[in-house]
Amino acid sequence: MCGIVGYIGKKQAAPVILDGLARLEYRGYDSAGMAVFDGEKVNVTKAVGRLKVLEELTHGGETMPGLAGIGHTRWATHGAPNDVNSHPHFNKGKTITVVHNGIIENYISLRNKLTKKGYSFVSETDTEVAAQMLDYYYNGNPLETILKVLHRIEGSYALGIMFADHPGEIFAARKGSPLIVGQSSDGCFIASDVPAILRYTRKVYFVDEQEIVRLEADHMHFYTMDEEEIEKEATTIDWDANAAEKAGYEHFMLKEMYEQPKTVTDTLTPRLKKDRIEIEELGLGDEEIRQIRKIHIVACGSAYHAGVTGKYVLEGLARIPVEVDLASEFRYRNPILEEGAMVIAVSQSGETADTLAAMREAKLKGFQVLGIVNVVGSSIAREADHVMYTWAGPEIAVATTKAYSAQLIAFYLLAVKFAFVRETIDDTMYRLLLRDLRRLPDQIELLLNSKEKIQHFANRYIGARDVFFIGRGIDYAISLEGSLKLKEISYIHSEAYAAGELKHGTISLIEEGTLVAAVSTQPALYQKTISNMVEVRARGAFLLAVTNVGNREIEKVSDYTIYIPETNPFFTNSLAIIPLQLFGYYVAVGKGCDVDKPRNLAKSVTVE
């Protein structure tokens, strides 16, 4: 969601910015632009549409020479996606240029004040207000001016700012939106996320809340909101740069689905010892684990779906009551957190605004928060009291697959560990669960290797109008994620229902040929789900079943059956989701959709 890249140094800035923005494309955007200082003045080019339009307009950056610049990919919030609303925004003489990610909440009142002082605005954006405010307060000292403006802005921002009369500097500031800066022997960089600059440097500084950075070609200075200069520690990024490339796969999503056996292994390995689970980063001793009275899980989208599975697994194994909340609901419902409650915030990006806010709400009420996070150094990772990283590596496709799989593993580890400590499972069960956890990567691999079957089936459904996913218990949680995968990338309307709930309304939508995907991996519920399958089949539904190997009975009521290998019923989500991810993917490919960058979506949802 909005990408920022800035550069100042020995190289031509425009190609560096274009390259960095390309690596942030996964975040989602609808227009792009950049501003480069050519030694005399600042030139700005912006264009609605894909980044390649900007690349073509500037001949890959050649028509915008200069050693300092800022660029942006915009995901529209205030005003339609068009050339005028695209960033950078500037003051009248283009002497002050701004790129922004976030939302300036009080922009209307600020805009009204500036209008009274004679300012006029060309765009509908909140960002232009920041550019004009900088102009209004400018006293020749950029840092002082930026601080004055930031003290008057309410809301969230990651900003990149250039002043034409200070050609040797660019500025960055952050509150509530992600921002990093980096340094190489060739210059200094600003970016919304690490992959944007990984090609140039591995020396990165995570900008903290309400910090301002002044970047020169060979130096960076960090300041507090009180203009106090501070020292910061650099982090060396040790990711494999190739991890953020497609490596021969047609799409990042396909590559990331194929990385799931590794992701699951990487998330399990550091915690799964020979005969026990150790989660050091949890920060809880056995006695504290025994004292947990309740768990609240907060998350959005697929991370929320992982949380729904987490609820079934934690309650089922460790017998701890669990509430799962959509973070956007939790934060505004004044939740009741009782003594002994533990809060878990789940997020791939670690930057999701609602999850971050929900987590802060819990902290405000005095509760410790465990973050299950993928992006190292992200806001949720830094603000959580304890972090359990999912080691999925960079996930580029907007539709999550491998990070979701890793989140499931994190919940399994917690549940099995808590269950053993609280003695709700015995030694034998503990050993069996550990054995089944260890088997998951190979079993996922097996399912991925038989993709042709699901690919063939998916091709028949590229014309589908509606698809329903049904299941009970954990199978309902799997259905939620299967349905989201299909709809978000193929634009086919799909819904997930607890199978028993269909007859309370939704069944009236079933027509001749409507595809219903029934997930049935819980032996105790086989018969119940079969009854629901029979009900929809009698109304003309075409039934795809995903079930455990050996459950042959289901073939009597399904039209097409996918079997998953044998595992403990608490872990079936990790296997059953694979054919559903593949189904969504191949339907979207068959329809010619932009699989990695679905319309209107952003990878990292950093605004409310």
Question: What is the set of active-site residues?
Answer: 2, 603
Size of the site for ligand M6R (CB under 6 A): 17
**CB of 569 or CB of 584, closer to ligand M6R:** 584
Separation of alpha carbons 289 and 314, rounded Å = 12
When the beta carbons of 67 and 300 are compared against ligand M6R, the nearer one is 300
CB closer to ligand M6R out of 33 and 307: 307
Which is nearest to 467 in space by CA: 479, 456, 476, 477? 479
**Counting contacts by CB under 6 A, is residue 2 touching ligand M6R?**
no
Residues with Cβ < 8 Å from 375, sequence gap 6 or more? 193, 348, 349, 350, 351, 381
Rule CB under 6 A: is residue 398 a binding residue for ligand M6R? yes
Q: What share of the chain is helix, strand, coil (3-state, %, to 5)?
A: 40, 25, 40
Quick one: which segment of 127-135, 210-218, 225-233, 349-357 binds ligand M6R (CB under 6 A)?
A: 349-357
**442: CB partners within 8 A, 6+ apart:** 261
Stretch that binds ligand M6R, among 97-105, 342-350, 383-391, 544-552 (CB under 6 A): 342-350
Residues 492, 60: Cα–Cα separation, whole Å:
36
Residue ranges in 61-179 assigned as alpha helix (H)? 107-116, 127-137, 142-150
Whole-number minimum distance, CB 210 to ligand M6R, in Å?
Answer: 22
The region of 84-92, 218-226, 286-294, 346-354 touching ligand M6R under the rule CB under 6 A is 346-354
Nearest approach, Cβ of residue 70 and ligand M6R (Å): 25
Which listed residue (31, 101, 347, 532) binds ligand M6R by CB under 6 A? 347
Residue 177 lies near ligand M6R (rule: CB under 6 A) = no
298 binds ligand M6R (CB under 6 A): no
Chain centroid to CA 103: 18
Q: Which amino acid is at 487?
A: K
- Which of 51, 303, 314, 536 lies at the binding interface for ligand M6R (CB under 6 A)? 303
Q: How far apart are CA 438 and CA 209, in angstroms?
A: 40
Residue 494 within binding range of ligand M6R, rule CB under 6 A:
no
Cα–Cα distance for residue pair 316/606, rounded to 1 Å: 34
Task: Please give the residues from 419 up to 448 whose contact with ligand M6R meets the rule CB under 6 A.
Answer: none
Q: Does 267 bind ligand M6R (CB under 6 A)?
A: no
Place of tokens 């309410």: 154
In the bound complex, what is the minimum distance in angstroms from residue 166's beta carbon to ligand M6R? 36
Site for ligand M6R in 564-583 (CB under 6 A): none
**CA atoms of 245 and 255, how far apart (whole Å):** 9
352 binds ligand M6R (CB under 6 A): yes
Is residue 395 at the binding interface for ligand M6R, with CB under 6 A as the rule? Answer: no
Task: Examine residue 301 and tell whether it contacts ligand M6R (CB under 6 A).
Answer: yes
Taking contact as CB under 6 A, which single stretch among the options 200-208, 298-306, 436-444, 465-473 is the one that binds ligand M6R?
A: 298-306
**Residue among 355, 443, 514, 558 that touches ligand M6R (CB under 6 A):** 355
Choice between 110 and 587, CB closer to ligand M6R: 587
Report if residue 51 touches ligand M6R, rule: CB under 6 A: no
Can you tell me which of 488, 541, 554, 585 binds ligand M6R, judged by CB under 6 A?
Answer: 488
538: Cβ–Cβ under 8 A, 6 or more apart, which residues?
none
For position 263 contacting ligand M6R by CB under 6 A, the verdict is: no
Task: Give whichever of 400 and 520 is closer to ligand M6R, judged by the CB atom.
Answer: 400
- Return the sign of the alpha-carbon dihedral for residues 75, 77, 82, 87: negative
Q: 82 exposed, middle or buried (CB, 10 Å; 0-12, 13-18, 19+)?
A: middle
Q: Which of 267, 348, 390, 443 is the binder for ligand M6R (CB under 6 A)?
A: 348
Shortest distance in whole angstroms from residue 76 CB to ligand M6R? 17
Return the residue of 31, 43, 349, 522 that touches ligand M6R, per CB under 6 A: 349
Of residues 602, 580, 596, 599, the one with CA closest to residue 249: 596
**Which residue number, 60 or 377, has a Cβ lying nearer to ligand M6R?**
377
Angle at 262 between CA 517 and CA 519, to 5 degrees: 15
* 3-state secondary structure at position 36: strand
Q: Which residues of 510-540 are buried (b: 16+ CB within 10 A; e: fewer)?
A: beeebbbbbbbbbeebbeebbebbebbbeee
486 binds ligand M6R (CB under 6 A): no
Q: Which stretch binds ligand M6R (CB under 6 A): 98-106, 204-212, 341-349, 440-448?
A: 341-349
Query: How many Cα atoms occupy the beta-carbon half-sphere of 441 within 13 Å?
Result: 13
Least Cβ distance, residue 214 to ligand M6R (angstroms): 30
The residue of the chain with the least Cβ separation from ligand M6R equals 301
Q: Please identify, using beta-carbon distances, which residue of 260 and 347 lies nearer to ligand M6R.
A: 347
Decide if residue 529 touches ligand M6R (CB under 6 A): no
Give least dist CB 523 to ligand M6R, A.
Answer: 29
Among the listed ranges 139-147, 392-400, 437-445, 463-471, the one in contact with ligand M6R (CB under 6 A) is 392-400
Q: How many CB atoms lie within 10 A of CB 244?
A: 21
User: CA nearest 21: which of 236, 217, 197, 182?
Assistant: 197
Among the residue ranges 19-27, 181-189, 238-246, 301-309, the one whose residues contact ligand M6R (CB under 6 A): 301-309
User: Is residue 254 near ligand M6R by the rule CB under 6 A?
Assistant: no
d(CA 254, CA 35): 35
Query: Residue 454, SS3?
Result: helix
Kindly tell me the sign of the dihedral angle through the C-alpha atoms of 517, 520, 526, 528: negative
Residues near ligand M6R (CB under 6 A): 300-303, 347-349, 352, 355, 398-400, 484, 488, 601, 604-605
